[in-house]
């Protein structure tokens, strides 16, 4: 069967190409008789509309790009899965923009909106993805875009976020409630707003409890497992070691568990641990990890909802959506022992 275009189909059933197009994209405006005729011919030819032709005419690609630092991170993966689901439901395809934290790749993927390759952008980065010097009008005529997880320092942009500060505070307060006074922290990448905010939450919680902030108790991590192991090792080496550690990600907690295991320190009897993310495995760690649950599915859905509104030029009542988090208390935290 040779390649069948809309013309072949039209010829086969004796109508114009226009009618075939209408039948497929707007069936209601064509009479039932011709509709059946056309549909039959379409079936017979195995005709699928060519995307290029349609896109060229409509100036819509039907694609969106999700720009995200690392798809291997399970938080990111969970969000992307949710996005893919939501996008598929409304007929969009998702292009994967895994950037490996390379600023150039961020720009590269964002530029796809200029060439028409994608219609909109889901940006999980705090880096502004365009060269303003190249087209300064961009700041005022931004393409359809929503920003999530790592907030951009710009306020006319749709965002879906969690309140990292409040979440961190909640986690630390839990430890305080259990009687802990020396609470360590292992951070994420400190250039990431999320990590800065979590640190702020940690600090505030201590302050409100009247506990003096101690520099030695917060060690730099990067959200990865290994940094958790290193960080915990450092905290353990402290002259006056903490009785609890707030890990800025579940990955960090895994690393911390490993360090504690090797040091033969029991969780939670000798050390309480709190994580962040509630990734799938956190309930299966030994002991199961107390952690802050992030609503990955809702994040993806809200991102898609806001992007879709922009794509369809619908009004958006609220550009900033904040999703609730939840502290999941498992067995990695316990009352301080005396």
Partner DNA sequence: TTATATTCTGATAACGTTTTCATAGAGCAT
Partner DNA sequence: ATGCTCTATGAAAACGTTATCAGAATATAA
- Which residues contact its own copies (rule: CB under 8 A)? 1, 46, 48-53, 55-56, 59, 61-63, 70-72, 74, 77-78, 80-81, 84-85, 88, 93-96, 98, 100, 105, 108, 111-112, 114-117, 134-135, 137, 225, 229, 251, 254-255, 257-258, 261, 280-281, 284-288
Smallest CA-to-CA distance from 246 within 211, 290, 282 is with 290
DSSP class of 272? E
Residue placing its CB nearer to DNA in the complex, 44 or 56? 56
* CA nearest neighbour of 251 among 291, 287, 219: 291
Query: What is the spatial distance between Cα 92 and Cα 163, in angstroms, rounded to a whole number?
Result: 29
Contact partner, 78, from its own copies, DNA, none, Cβ < 5-8 Å per class: its own copies
* Smallest distance from its own copies to CB 276, Å: 16
Distances in whole angstroms, Cα of residue 286 to Cα of each of 82, 234, 254, 273: 28, 22, 10, 11
Question: Per CB under 7 A, does 88 bind DNA?
Answer: no
Number of residues near DNA (by CB under 7 A): 32
- Residue of 43, 44, 53, 191 that binds DNA (CB under 7 A): 53
Please identify which residue in the block is written with the tokens 């305080």.
176
Please state at what angle helix 17-25 crosses helix 6-13, rounded to 10 degrees.
Answer: 100
Q: Which CB, 54 or 211, lies closer to its own copies?
A: 54
Going by C-beta distance under 8 Å and a sequence separation of 6 or more, which residues neighbour residue 151? 126, 159, 161, 193
Q: Choose one: 12-20, 80-88, 209-217, 292-300; the region binding DNA (CB under 7 A).
A: 12-20
3-state secondary structure of 187: coil
Q: Which is nearer to its own copies, 14 or 283 (CB)?
A: 283
Residue 201's binding partner, choosing from its own copies, DNA, none, with beta-carbon cut-off 5 to 8 A by kind?
none
- The entry of DNA, its own copies, none near residue 133 (CB within 5 to 8 angstroms by kind) is none
Asked if 14 interacts with DNA (CB under 7 A), we say yes
Measured torsion, CA atoms of residues 251, 330, 160, 90, in degrees rounded to the nearest 10: 90
Query: For 132, how many CA atoms within 13 A lie in the half-sphere containing its CB?
Result: 4
Residue number with CB closer to DNA (62 or 179): 62
Q: Which of 294, 208, 214 is nearest to 251 (CA)?
A: 294
Q: Which does residue 15 touch among its own copies, DNA, none (CB within 5 to 8 A, set by kind)?
A: DNA
47 binds DNA (CB under 7 A): yes
Please tell me the distance from the alpha carbon of residue 61 to that of residue 44, in angstroms, as a whole number: 27
Q: Which does 255 bind (CB under 5 to 8 A by kind): its own copies, DNA, none?
A: its own copies
Of 11, 49, 84, 241, the one binding DNA (CB under 7 A) is 49
Task: Summarize as ranges the residues that interact with DNA (CB under 7 A).
Answer: 3, 5-7, 14-22, 24-26, 29-31, 33-35, 47, 49-50, 52-54, 56-59
């Amino acid at each position: 069967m040779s390649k069948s275009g809309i013309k072949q189909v039209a010829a086969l059933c004796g109508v114009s190409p226009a009618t075939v197009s209408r039948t497929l994209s707007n069936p209601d405006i064509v009479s039932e008789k011709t509709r059946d005729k056309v549909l039959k011919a379409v079936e017979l030819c195995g005709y699928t509309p060519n995307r290029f032709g349609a896109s060229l005419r409509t100036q819509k690609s039907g694609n969106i790009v999700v720009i995200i630092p690392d798809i291997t991170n399970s938080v990111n993966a969970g969000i992307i899965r949710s996005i893919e689901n939501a996008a598929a439901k409304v007929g969009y395809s998702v292009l994967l923009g895994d950037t490996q934290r390379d600023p150039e790749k961020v720009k590269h993927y964002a530029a796809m909106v200029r060439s028409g390759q994608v219609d909109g952008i889901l940006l999980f980065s705090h880096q502004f993805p365009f060269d303003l010097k190249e087209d300064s009008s961009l700041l005022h005529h931004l393409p359809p875009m929503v920003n999530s997880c790592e907030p951009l320092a710009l306020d006319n942009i749709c965002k879906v976020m969690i309140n990292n500060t409040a979440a961190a505070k909640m986690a630390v307060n839990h430890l305080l409630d259990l009687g802990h006074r020396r609470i360590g922290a292992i951070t994420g990448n400190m250039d990431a707003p999320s990590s800065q905010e979590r640190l702020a939450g940690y600090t505030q919680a201590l302050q409100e409890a009247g506990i003096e902030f101690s520099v030695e108790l917060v060690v730099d991590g990067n959200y990865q497992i290994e940094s958790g192991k290193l960080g915990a090792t450092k905290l353990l080496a402290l002259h006056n070691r903490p009785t609890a550690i707030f890990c800025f990600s579940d990955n960090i907690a895994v690393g911390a568990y490993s360090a504690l295991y090797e040091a033969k320190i029991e969780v939670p009897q000798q050390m309480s641990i709190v994580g962040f993310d509630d990734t799938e495995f956190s309930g299966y760690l030994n002991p199961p990890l107390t952690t802050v649950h992030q609503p990955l599915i809702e994040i993806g859905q809200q991102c898609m909802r806001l992007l879709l509104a922009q794509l369809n030029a619908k009004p958006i009542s609220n550009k900033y959506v904040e999703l609730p988090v939840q502290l999941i208390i498992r067995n990695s935290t316990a009352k301080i022992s005396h």
